[in-house]
Structure 1
Amino acid sequence: MIRIVLVDDHPVVRAGLRALVESQPDLAVVGEADGAEAAMTVVGNTAPDVVLMDLSLGAAAVGGAEITARLRTLPEPPEVLVLTTYDTESDILRALDAGARGYLLKDAPSEDLFAGIRATARGETVLAPTVAATLVRRTSNPAPTITEREVQVLELLSRGLGNKEMARELFVSEATVKSHLSHIYTKLGVDTRAGAVAAAIERRIIRT
């Protein structure tokens, strides 16, 4: 029996996942959580084999990638399979860098989800086709790589923040923000803030 904990901030989604997962004789949901504190407590109490992790947890300050990183520091960490609606490059890399074993999208067929949970429990890597394609494109594309800090700048840029506001958010100087923007423009082949956001969304570097 594969023991599973669900981490998602929507009770209806958790209920649906529980019903779906427990339709399989070898899968059992042993706990649920809607955020970081609850996830750490439930995992500590139930010792699951797999945590099915959403990335976006509403207004919670700590997202799924950060929770994954915390779970992976436990003495006997569970494997983490991300199940989310987001397939941007930044989300994928953050989750995998945090220690997630796999990454599936919520529109995956139920059989793919079941197979993904079983493979994750065996310690195998599981990737949705679009996620795998994104990673292949990243490694094979000769274009300069956008750094994690530049992704953060792009995300703030997409929210309409000015240089001063971005500097405050990132705890850096305005000169540093301007330097990041210059590098971003060069890497994306654009010369405006709007162009940078549009290119980043088109390349799935950031979310819409």
Structure 2
Amino acid sequence: MSAPIRVLVCDDQVLVRTGLVTIIDAQPDLEVVGECADGQAAVDLARRLRPDVVVMDVRMPVLDGIDATRLLAGAGLPDPVKVLVVTTFNLDEYVYQALRAGASGFLLKDAPPAQLPHGIRTVAMGAALLAPEVTRELLGMYAARVRPAEDTGRDIPLSPRELEVLRLLADGRSNSEIAAILRISQETVKTFVSRILTKLELRDRVQAVVYAYRHGLVT
């Protein structure tokens, strides 16, 4: 058997944190290696314990989850940690900022309990976790604010087909939906996504979505 996925849980609300820990520890392939109540403690513990995934709240004392995520998973770090943000829906702007800070995805606190272990496994495998309907609502709401008005997507090193795939990613489409829309196989979609990430030097689909909005590829 492979080693369990090591998880650090950070939430300043004791009842919420206890609930998260209970759900995670009930899974045979997941292991909580630490828990804390503020972002600075999360950074310190993560650097010492080296968890596979940090489950991170957004609003916390001392250091909030956004800044903690930037310190643990930000672009350019030599050994970034995967961060899964768990928050309430009315904090959607904060979630957007967390994704820009380097988070691999997010879950809503009112999601079914089974989604938490699934989200941790998804992020641990190196994939991004973004619910399509929330992606459209969240990023669409803030696209105009974060996208430079003069940037119309010129000089982006992608082929026309790759740009099509990127725009569909930014619209929150899954691989199967992209395949159906473009009438290509899901394996071909995966190949295009891999090429996009490589050419744009992006880590995952989350960063690709943010890139698309910031460069005016979607409205």
Please indicate, yes or no, whether the TM-score normalized by the shorter chain is above 0.5: yes
Q: Which residue pairs with 1:4 in the alignment?
A: 7
Q: Does 1:66 align with 2:67?
A: yes
1:24-173 matches, cutoff 5 A: 24-57=27-60, 60-72=61-73, 75-135=78-138, 137-138=140-141, 145-147=144-146
Q: Which residue pairs with 1:160 in the alignment?
A: none
C-alpha separation in 2, matches of 1:61 and 1:37: 6
* Post-superposition CA distance 1:120-147 (Å, at most 9, x none): 00111112354223146359xxxx8124
Q: Is the 8 A contact 1:87 1:131 kept in 2?
A: no
SS of the residue corresponding to residue 18 of structure 2 reads helix
C-alpha separation in 1, matches of 2:62 and 2:7: 24
Structure 2 counterpart of 1:24, one-letter code? Q
* Post-superposition CA distance 1:25-69 (Å, at most 9, x none): 000000112112211221122110000000011xx2521111100
**How many pairs align?**
142
SS of the residue corresponding to residue 54 of structure 2 reads strand
Question: Percent sequence identity over matched residues?
Answer: 41
Q: Which residue pairs with 2:191 in the alignment?
A: none
C-alpha separation in 2, matches of 1:126 and 1:48: 18
Are the structure 2 counterparts of residues 85 and 12 from structure 1 closer, same or farther at C-alpha, using a change threshold of 3 Å? same
C-alpha separation in 2, matches of 1:19 and 1:36: 21
Are the structure 2 counterparts of residues 66 and 136 from structure 1 closer, same or farther at C-alpha, using a change threshold of 3 Å? closer
Q: Is the 8 A contact 1:87 1:130 kept in 2?
A: no
SS of the residue corresponding to residue 145 of structure 2 reads coil
Structure 1 counterpart of 2:37, one-letter code? D
Q: Is the 8 A contact 1:53 1:83 kept in 2?
A: yes
- Stretches of structure 1 that go unaligned for 5 or more consecutive residues are 149-208
SS of the residue corresponding to residue 125 of structure 1 reads coil
- Stretches of structure 2 that go unaligned for 5 or more consecutive residues are 148-219
Q: Is the 8 A contact 2:7 2:51 kept in 1?
A: yes
Q: Which has the larger radius of gyration?
A: 1
Runs of 4+ in 1 over 3 A off after TM superposition: 86-89, 135-139
Structure 1 counterpart of 2:66, one-letter code? A
* Post-superposition CA distance 1:137-190 (Å, at most 9, x none): 359xxxx81249xxxxxxxxxxxxxxxxxxxxxxxxxxxxxxxxxxxxxxxxxx
Q: Which residue pairs with 1:19 in the alignment?
A: 22
Q: Is the 8 A contact 2:87 2:95 kept in 1?
A: no
Q: Taking structure 1 as the reference length, what is the TM-score of the superposition? A: 0.62
Are the structure 2 counterparts of residues 12 and 132 from structure 1 closer, same or farther at C-alpha, using a change threshold of 3 Å? same
Structure 1 counterpart of 2:26, one-letter code? S
